[in-house]
Amino acid sequence: MATLKPDLVLMDVHMPDMDGPTTTKKIISQYPEAKVIAWTVSESSDDLLRMMQAGCSGYVLKDAGPGELQRALQAALRSESPVPRKMIPEVLRRVAERTPLSQTSSVALTSREMQILRGVAKGHTTKRLAQELGLAAPSVETHLHNIFKKLNATNRGEAVSTALKLGVITLADL
């Protein structure tokens, strides 16, 4: 693989010899620009969290149709974090339960960034956020970049997780 320099890798969670999170970490350490997407039958929030913590850009269930898979791959290449919508509430609840909320948050997001962060927490795409807020998609991407920078996050899932931990958003925002 050293000669391939992958842009995008589909990774299963459970594999013989080396599991998905371990393999993902190895790929990302060698190819930091590569996007790794978990493509699995597992609907376990534990598996999703482990894969995202390992550096996956997204998580797609194998029962997704070809169109949904294609949209997820394209989203990952745009630095979005596709995750099955039906899994988001459980994962966010688990993250919020594991980490006590900070009493004071030193993160200052603008009202527009808060709108976008809440939309991201609900699983909305860039296109949907742009339509709902009356913005161009590149403007939403700029706001996302600023949110990631302020929250020291590299993707949407990490931004939402960090925002929950810091008390910037709450489960009521979902």
Q: Tell me the pLDDT tens digit for each residue of 32-59.
A: 889 999 999 998 888 888 898 898 988 9
> What average pLDDT does this structure show over 1-25?
87
Mean pLDDT of the chain: 86
Looking at residue 164, what is its pLDDT? Answer: 85
Looking at residue 1, what is its pLDDT? Answer: 52
Return the ∠ at Cα 154 (arms to 86 and 113), rounded to 5°: 75
Residue 137, classified by CB atoms within 10 Å of its CB into exposed (0-12), middle (13-18) or buried (19+), is middle
Looking at residue 105, what is its pLDDT? Answer: 55
Looking at residue 148, what is its pLDDT? Answer: 92
Residue 63 to residues 68, 81, 84, 169, Cα–Cα distance (Å): 10, 18, 11, 31
Tokens of 38: 């978990």
> What average pLDDT does this structure show over 103-131?
85
Q: What percent of the chain has pLDDT over 90?
A: 39
Q: Model's pTM, two decimal places?
A: 0.58
Looking at residue 171, what is its pLDDT? Answer: 74
Looking at residue 104, what is its pLDDT? Answer: 47
pLDDT band (50, 70, 90) for residue 158: confident
